[in-house]
Amino acid sequence: MKVKICGITNLKDALLCQSFGADALGFIFYKKSKRYVLPEVVSEITEELSPFIMKVGVFVNESTEVINKLALELKLNCIQLHGDEFPEDIEKINLPVIKSFRISEDFEFSILGKYKNASYLLDSYSNSLYGGSGNKFNWDLIPKEIQNKVILAGGISHENIADVFKNINPAAVDLSSSLETEPGLKDEEKVKIFFEKFNALRYGLC
């Protein structure tokens, strides 16, 4: 299981998460997000990161032209689409794509099959937010046959990561608000506690 830390807005937090073992860092380019970060800041951050950590650009209903331009300029490795994008949009993007889906009780999982050239991120549904709500959705809704293939987001923390391992075992988890002091700023102690628990589970120490 991999770990992506999203909502990175500064170099200090990026290096902190990298040092504790994050596999990927997410940078949000949606201006209405509390965790929006300027492209020039991301450029400064990515220059200092290890080439072995995944740099993910998060976009909401952005044009593919803008996405491809920023991806090239900022040396991103992957694109995350967190809006209402269509399957044909993915075909126009030059990097691997993660497509986010907000899961409600009546979500139709058959729609995932239309996005054949993307990885799937499952997040909590919100009427007002495209992500980062910090709320957990009903994991029992996830079909068994895809549980170990998805990226799981929404309210994941050190308090429930053991349940994630035991009951879902997804390909990756995506965290943001549970590791913050405020939107866009990570808390070193929270990051430390999460990775201590996560690594203990990953390496069978608990």
Residues with catalytic roles: 6, 123
Contact 167, 139 (CB under 8 A): yes
Is 193 in a helix, a strand, or coil?
helix
Closest CA to 77 of 15, 119, 25, 33: 25
What is the distance between the alpha carbons of residues 169 and 35, in angstroms, rounded to a whole number? Answer: 27
Question: 99 - beta bridge partners?
Answer: 81, 120
- Long-range pairs of 141-144 with CB within 8 A, sequence gap ≥ 24: 141/103, 141/105, 141/107, 141/109, 142/103, 142/109, 142/168, 143/109
Please list, in sequence order, all residues whose beta carbon lies within 8 angstroms of the beta carbon of residue 22, skipping any fewer than 6 positions away.
3, 4, 5, 53, 195
Question: Helix H segments across 30-134?
Answer: 39-48, 64-74, 87-90
